[in-house]
Structure 1
Amino acid sequence: MSENFAADFTERQKGHLPGELDIEWELVARGEARGRFTVTQRHMAPNGFLHAASVIALADSACGYGCVVSRPQGATGFTTLELKSNFLGTAREGVVTCRAWLVHGGRTTQVWDAEVRHEETGKVIALFRCTQMILWPKA
């Protein structure tokens, strides 16, 4: 089992968007990340439904945090090249969870998939695919 960096990322995100959305991390490890938030007014759109940006912030953070701990030795960071999302449902209350997993871990790119669910119903809210470019020190 890989080392779990969930507490480190929870602390690190304070004062940034994931912290402002009260995203909690259960697991941030090599090849996988799992997080969640409890739906509150801050996660909602004015139309009374879960804001797509709240769901994207959860999934993108899961993929990004997983990328950080899964990058090749010597890499200095990453940047997101592409984020694809398909929304299949919503939530108005309860807990929204995300599981992200590494699909491709190359030297120059990583590809992550993520699934966002409503915890109480088990229904899938959204599916994601993120491609990250691995950053290296300048030669």
Structure 2
Amino acid sequence: MMDGNVAASFQERQTGTLPGELGIQWDEVATGRAAGWFTVTQGHMAPNGFLHAASVIALVDSACGYACIASLPDGATGFTTIELKANYLATAKEGETVACTARLVHGGRMTQVWDAEAVNRTTGKTMALFRCTQMVLYPRG
């Protein structure tokens, strides 16, 4: 487990990857929680003119994944996602801000379960509810 808020290190680490390309910003990454956001641009949109669901998944899944890394038990080397689910309730328009918070629901030795909520900061509406299960990885041998 990592001590304190390590958001800046994750911000730097994501450069050149999908979260970085989507402009996701991190306010907090710590043991048991994460919080981040992005401002909707044309690059977040689907061809039908609505926010692409994958943009929201990139935010909430990254929040859960980054917080999972910050919450790994002693001896663990990483994790892999074994299940995820999202319920979409609303959308966002270009120029609006989508934010999320993720929290650890179950922190076991072999699995972690995370919940995240995406909110349109501009309208205050909950946009998506997300849950994922992570399998904790250990060195072989």
Same fold by TM (over 0.5)?
yes
Report the CA distance between 1:121 and its aligned residue: 1.2
CA–CA distance in 2 between the matches of 1:22 and 1:7? 14
Report the CA distance between 1:28 and its aligned residue: 0.2
C-alpha offsets along residues 63-120 of structure 1, whole Å, 9 cap, x if unaligned?
0000000010110000000010000010013100000000000000000000000001
Match of 1:66 in 2: 67
What secondary structure does 2:64 align onto?
Answer: helix
Match of 1:132 in 2: 134
1:1-139 to 2 correspondences below 5 Å: 2-93=3-94, 94-139=96-141
- What's the TM-score, normalizing by structure 1? 0.98
Q: How many aligned positions are there?
A: 138
**Structure 2: unaligned runs, 5 residues or longer:** none
CA–CA distance in 2 between the matches of 1:120 and 1:45? 20
- What's the TM-score, normalizing by structure 2? 0.96
RMSD (Å), alpha carbons: 0.6
What secondary structure does 2:4 align onto?
Answer: coil
CA–CA distance in 2 between the matches of 1:71 and 1:42? 33
What secondary structure does 2:56 align onto?
Answer: helix
**Structure 1: unaligned runs, 5 residues or longer:** none
